[in-house]
Structure 1
Amino acid sequence: MLNFVNNYFILKKNKKKKDFVLNIINDIKIYGEYALLYYIKKIDGIIIKNINNIKIYKKYMKKAFIKLNFNKKKIIKEIFIRIKKYHFHFYKNSWQIINKNIIYGQKISKIEKICIYIPGGNTIYPSSIFMNAVPSLIHKPKKLIMITPIKNGIISNLILSISYICNINYILLSGGVHTITSVTFGTKNIKKTNKITGPGNKFVTKSKKYLFGNIGIDMLAGPSELFILCEDNLHPKIIINDFFSQLEHDINSISFLLSNNKKYLINIYNNIYKKIKYQKNKKIIFKSLNNSYIIFNNFYNSLKIINFISPEHLMLCVKFSFKLLKKINNCGTIFLNYKTSISYGDYIIGPSHVIPTNKNSKFCSSLNIDDFCKKINIIKTNNNLYSKILSSYFSKKEKFYSHSFSSILR
């Protein structure tokens, strides 16, 4: 840490702080399942002697699904089909091109073992199962497992039913850093997986950051974000409810509202604090309002602001939304009019709600089927003199002489 005192820089040594996440990762790496059982007792509050006691397999999921009434089964199936249809449009076949004596192409290969992380604890997130599992099914992984923390060792029938529809091989009723580390390195009764996807709290995100390289990850997702661009003819009630719907996720959630009418914005500002007391999650919303902004600016400048902030969700509640669409480069998901609620995108329309945050949409996309496959290059040549000359020339320029000999000898 640098401090500026009387024109001198003094370098202070930071006291070593215990890293809670790193300690758990190291314990699981060294002690394996013994450490996992210890942390399940300490963090999840479940006392077990064998990890298989908190595994749920397909036959139990099927029983839960059978118990559902007809209407619930219909809803689950319809959402599943809708999301699968959307993601199937991303599908690409392997390809090859023959150019004289050269063949080159790409083999699309599935990632064999996938783990999806579903948040839990005080509440349930069945929609997250759809949004993580369905895109992976397009490439048909050999194994698809799910890990999720639960309260008091009780799991919802809805969670089990959706897991059955989404072809989950088994559910591990534990979450957090200890379980993520276990599926990364493997233990006595848990086989290691190749990739993990799904949102979680700050400890889950931190563990994914540490473990990347030993396991593939989707992204490092942060608190939820919303940017609303609207004209002054839209009823304030709609905007306020959209604001609240995003802010109730977490005390660190962020919302932005931009309009070119100052009176309209002041009216919304006043109404936010009038209506907040009627919200069920008012404590969370009130705290997350500290992170949120109401911006008075013209619509031309709004494009620069949007591309800079790179929000997770963007609502374009303006008549010329399609014209603006062409100029927006950085965003997770765009909602093109006020009739398209963010809740539709979260639950039923098709695109995954696992979306980049923290300006990550500048270089990252929402979760899709490309996250569950690998693209392997294919090359073949048959006595191609031109290839020999070119590769030999560049290898000599880079002083890799064995490369040059390897090219010429063929």
Structure 2
Amino acid sequence: MIQIRRLSSTDSRFDEALGRLLAFEDEQDAAVDAAAAEILADIKKRGDEALLGYTRRFDHLDAGSMAELELPHDRMQSALQSLPADQRSALTEAAARVRAYHEKQLMQSWSYVEPDGTLLGQQITPLDRVGLYVPGGKASYPSSVLMNAIPAKVAGVGELIMVTPTPRGETSDLVLAAAAICNVDRIFTIGGAQAIGALAYGTHTVPQVDKIVGPGNAYVAAAKRRVFGVVGIDMLAGPSEILVICDGKTNPDWIAMDLFSQAEHDELAQAILLSPDPVFIDAVAASIARQLEAMSRKRVIHTSLEGRGALIQVRDLDEACAIANRIAPEHLELSVEQPENWMTKIRHAGAIFLGRYTSEALGDYCAGPNHVLPTSGTARFSSPLGVYDFQKRSSIIQVSAEASARLGRIASTLAHGEGLQAHAMSAEYRFQNSAAAIPDGSGSSISEPIALPPRL
């Protein structure tokens, strides 16, 4: 029998109990971190030779050269064509929805000209090359390919390198088909911390990337932590989370299954229900007990719900929203009447699912928004993965001769105040003879500001 904790916001020690429920110490195991550090150092030093050795050791795949660990493009296409029609159709439609949503996130270059001729603006450029880590072998996560690769491609990333382990040569046609749909440029059948090192430092065969995205095991996470700064990373994600706010009028079986949908990810996943209706909470608890036995991952769900799950009675929906903001969950379902009215009270959540028919699972696969979301309360200051994570902003400044006198004096005063003489003189040189035209090195004078295109 499952024993999921019950809490009430009216209890005098509720805040303390909620704090204990939310506490999650993501202590990096010293042995895992040390192993990742050793592997990274070896990849940096020996490159392909080390990569082949670790692939042989951990994936039991004995390749004579790195050429054997790169999949040809036709292998992706054959995987796509070999899928059953329903799977191929589902992947294609999901990809189209994800792409349509992310196309609306594209940032554009812009500029404006001040009355004195000074031009200020912002130039948007995509990253040159991105690495995508995808769990492999018997694991099959094509949705991870869609959610990471599509925004990168929409952003205009020049080259997308995918790495995925293939222990004993096991590959997932679903994953490879997703890569084909997303136009992934190259795939290497490598994994673990060694794959992260290859992407971060580059080897003779694996090109160095600018950013690494995608989920992985503890060794992958430890390696991503260590290479951050050499390359960018998407985020340091914790266990999956779902918080459901319900007014008590949704089918309790639906809510129980929504809680299961995240609990089945991981024994450390967190599933919480907030409701002002004690009778409804009892009904959800009964549904959990009844439906659990039929679940293929019932052991994982049981451990997750007993260890980190909770059914919480609140005074009203206003209090539920306040508690939700304290939790700042990865996924938040507002299973209530007129959810759009309550959405405005939510300040911190990775993704908000409105209404009784909007299950979190739709967001994982095909609704359109990204399923790579901030966890462990980081939604207080972080956002979902998106196109903007694969674009960079460069500030554009062009000062006219007229403006150099006004701005130069401001800069000179502030620079002298900071004791930075060269800064001050650099500005002063340009306004000491500001009445004269300033040559641009070609015999002409700079008089017209440059014009930035809408998007570069």
TM-score scaled to structure 2, two decimals? 0.83
Matches within 5 A, 1:363-402: 363-383=381-401, 384-402=404-422
RMSD: 1.8
Q: What does residue 94 of structure 1 align with?
A: 109
Tell me which residue corresponds to 2:366. 348
Mapped partners of 1:72, 1:273: distance in 2? 32
User: Is contact 1:202-1:222 (8 Å) kept?
Assistant: no
Alpha-carbon distance between aligned partners in 1 of 2:297 and 2:43, rounded to the nearest angstrom: 36
Shift of 1:171: 1.2
Partner of 1:134: 150
Match of 2:200 in 1: 184
**Conserved 8 A contact 1:199-1:354:** no
Say if 1:227 and 1:257, in contact at 8 Å, map to a contact too.
yes
What is residue 19 of structure 1 aligned with on the other side?
A: 34
SS of the residue corresponding to residue 355 of structure 1 reads: coil
Q: Is 1:227 aligned to residue 214 of structure 2?
A: no
The one-letter amino acid of 1:395's match is A
1:212 to 228, 248, 255: 228
Q: Distance in 1 between matches of 2:266 and 2:250?
A: 26
Match of 1:292 in 2: 309
Report whether the alignment pairs 1:38 with 2:53: yes
Q: Measure, in 1, the Cα distance between the counterparts of 2:74 and 2:192.
A: 26
Change (3 A) 1:406 1:312: same
Q: 1:310 aligns with which of 324, 328, 344?
A: 328
Change (3 A) 1:23 1:104: same
| Aligned pairs (5 A) from 1:353-364 | 353-364=371-382
Displacement of 1:18 in angstroms is: 7.3
SS of residue paired to 2:121 = strand
**1:408 paired residue among 428, 432, 440:** 428
In the alignment, residue 80 of structure 1 is paired with which amino acid?
A: A
**Superposed CA offset, 1:238-257 (max 9, x none):** 11111111110111111110
Letter paired with 1:312: E
Q: Deviations over 1:166-220 (max 9, x none)?
A: 1111211122111111110011211111111112223222211111001111111
- Aligned residue number for residue 448 of structure 2: none
Q: Unmatched 5+ residue regions in structure 1?
A: 1-14
CA contact (8 A) 2:138 2:172 kept: no
Provide the aligned length of Structure 1 versus Structure 2.
Answer: 396
Q: Partner of 1:278: helix, strand, or coil? A: coil
In the alignment, does 2:222 pair up with 1:202?
Answer: no
Pair 17,221 (structure 1): closer, same or farther in 2 beyond 3 Å: closer
Structure-2 separation of matches of 1:72 and 1:258: 36
Paired amino acid for 1:342: E
**2:289 counterpart of 1:269:** no
Answering whether residue 65 of structure 2 is matched by residue 50 of structure 1, we say yes
Q: Is the 8 A contact 1:57 1:169 kept in 2?
A: no
Is 2:295 the partner of 1:251?
Answer: no
Deviation at 1:157, TM superposition (A): 2.4
**Shift in Å at residue 230 of structure 1?**
0.4
Question: Structure 1 CA distance, aligned partners of 2:91 and 2:31?
Answer: 50
* Residue 253 of structure 2: aligned partner: 237
Cα 1:166–1:265 shift into 2, 3 Å: same
* Cα distance in 1 for residues equivalent to 2:81 and 2:240: 35
Q: Aligned partners of 1:90 and 1:242: how far apart in 2?
A: 28
The aligned amino acid for 1:48 is A
Partner amino acid, structure 2, of 1:391: A
Identity %: 33
Question: CA offset at residue 69 of structure 1?
Answer: 5.3
Q: Structure 1 CA distance, aligned partners of 2:32 and 2:383?
A: 34
Counterpart amino acid of residue 222 in structure 2: K
- How far is 1:291 from its partner? 1.0
Question: Following TM superposition, by how much is the alpha carbon of 1:286 offset from its aligned partner in structure 2, in angstroms?
Answer: 1.0
Structure 1 residues 231-240 or 199-208, which shifts more? 199-208
> Using the alignment, how far apart are the partners of 1:68 and 1:259 within structure 2?
43
Letter in 2 for 1:386: R
Equivalent AA in structure 2 for residue 191 of structure 1: P
**CA distance, structure 2, for counterparts of residue 278 and residue 220 of structure 1:** 33
Aligned-partner SS, 1:301: helix
- Shift in Å, 1:67: 3.6
Match for residue 190 of structure 2 among 168, 174, 179: 174
- Provide the secondary structure at the position in 2 that maps to 1:409: helix
SS in 2 for 1:183: helix
Q: Is 2:348–2:379's contact at 8 Å kept on the other side of the alignment?
A: yes
Q: Which has the larger radius of gyration?
A: 2
**Structure 1-normalised TM-score?**
0.92
Residue identity matched to 2:395? N
Report the CA distance between 1:312 and its aligned residue.
Answer: 0.5
Q: Is the 8 A contact 2:245 2:333 kept in 1?
A: yes
Secondary structure at the aligned position of 2:171 is classed as coil
Instruction: Pick the aligned partner of 1:145 from 161, 170, 173.
Output: 161
8 Å contact 2:107–2:388 — kept in the other structure? no
